[in-house]
Amino acid sequence: MATHAPSATIDQLIISSPYEAPAEHWKYDRETRRFTREPGRRPAGYVRASDASKSFDDPGEFVELPLVNKIRPRGDAWRATDYPSASGITRRLIKHWRDTEQREGKRFFFCQLEAIETLMWLAEAAESDRVGIKVPGDGGEFTRLCSKMATGSGKTILMSMLIAWQVLNKVTYPQDKRFSKNILVIAPGLTVKNRLEVLVPGSAGNYYQEFQIVPPGLEDKLRQGQTCRVQVRNWHKMDWESEEQLSKRRSVEETLFGWIVSDFGLNDTIESGLVKTPRVVVRDDGEQTSKYKSKFYHIYTDPEVKPDLNRKVQPHIPLPDLVGMGYYFLGKDWLETAKKWREEGNAKTPPVMITVANLINTAARVQYAFEHKRIRIEELCDPDKILHIDSKVLDEAEAQEELTEFVVEAKAAEDLDEEGGEETPEQNGDAPKKKFTKKERAERLRKTVDTIGREGQPLCVCRWEKHC
């Protein structure tokens, strides 16, 4: 495949199939700020912010993951030679997962198959095939292996494949120490923990049935594994280091884990059409397109927008006109998407518009603008369909034990926070108003966030992230 001439822009973002290994990729030159469509797969690695970055649109410097790039060709060779030395169960799983005719429209993505087969290769390939491959650890007693996958590439499905591979092999070959029936899944919060319950065999809506993870005839073996505990736990409830110790750890702007063995990053998922693609508002609305296109592209450095959105002002203070117009055009896109989804029979789960703001004050201003119809998209301006999230409060809720139910009786004064708590609406016109403690309000927020995207739930989310 010939290399295309360099271009300042990308005319075709999706250039790969999600079901095949990428055959080409977009390469960005930081010096010329131009893209080239290169043959072959993008090397494994990540982008790190650099002190040399001189402008807002500089992505930073590329850092290679040499271990992944060393493993990839060996995994490809193992696959091409029909997985020599793999167990019978492993071979049966791979054949089932790669059987496109029998999967009833539920094919696995290339990145999922590559990730699980890389883990299989590390455990089951002949020792001679793994000469020179040394995966570093953290000094603890457990072997560390990481499959790096971007959001939207199907990590939970991969986890179900990993569990099925381990459990089915252990049940079949109980003396083989390479496998285990005891699985511990650690979640980063209660919301994710609840969603990961699909990894427990036999649970309602479990992924083993939903995505046909297990070949016919092996279902009973997986249920045997259920007796050996597939447990999902919130990481906050583990015996971790103190928050002070954790805060001193290096961030991923600095480095990634040394035990990453496979990589399918954000650029790969975008080019394969697996995730939402970043976009600038460029609607074809005649004069407005030519008037605003350049301004929208540079909106974060606009001399009127940048200082305004850094102000700690009250919610009723209007947003900059350019921001309001941007929301209008994005809202038009939302309307078209909602219409398309209705026509496709997907009306029960309408699209959601999400704003991540730099300040809690900005998030409040965005919420106010929608609730008071300053954004001229009627369908997005219903206060009952708008959710304002404070990530700090949400993080606190995620760190708590899940409340089994909310208090419905009047609380004693000492149970309320110093601000008096939040009153609930009256019911049937005669029930007294109730109050929630700060902990209960945080849990209500968490449960609400857990339902975003479901039928009858909020469509517009205004969120402040404390890390922005």
**pLDDT at residue number 45:** 93
In whole angstroms, give the CA distance from residue 23 to residue 16. 7
**pLDDT at residue number 404:** 40
Measured CA angle at 467 (ends 463, 468), to 5 deg: 65
The three-state secondary structure class of 28 is strand
Please state the pTM of the whole predicted model: 0.75
Count other Cβ atoms within 10 Å, centred on residue 246: 9
In whole angstroms, give the CA distance from residue 119 to residue 144. 11
Residue with tokens 């409060």: 393
Tokens coding 115: 């990730």
3-state secondary structure 326-394: HHHHHHHHHHHHHHHHHHCCCCCCCCCEEEEECCHHHHHHHHHHHHCCCCCCHHHCCHHHEEEEEHHHH
**Beta 260-264 vs 422-423: how paired, if at all?**
unpaired
Of 269, 326, 268, 318, the residue nearest 297 (C-alpha): 326
**pLDDT at residue number 38:** 94
Tokens coding 462: 């205004």
In whole angstroms, give the CA distance from residue 110 to residue 118. 12
The two counts, helices (H) then strands (E), for the chain are 15, 13
In whole angstroms, give the CA distance from residue 320 to residue 306. 10
pLDDT tens series, the chain, 468 aa: 555 666 656 778 899 999 999 999 999 888 888 889 999 999 999 988 776 555 556 777 889 999 999 999 999 999 999 999 999 999 999 999 999 887 767 899 999 999 999 999 999 999 999 999 999 998 888 899 999 999 889 999 999 999 999 999 999 999 999 999 899 999 887 778 888 999 998 888 899 999 999 998 888 888 775 566 888 988 877 765 566 655 555 555 767 889 999 999 999 999 999 987 666 555 555 555 667 777 877 787 888 998 998 899 999 999 999 999 889 888 888 888 888 888 887 666 777 888 888 888 899 999 999 999 999 899 899 888 887 777 776 666 666 655 443 333 333 333 434 444 444 444 444 455 456 666 666 666 666 666 665 665 555 555 554 443
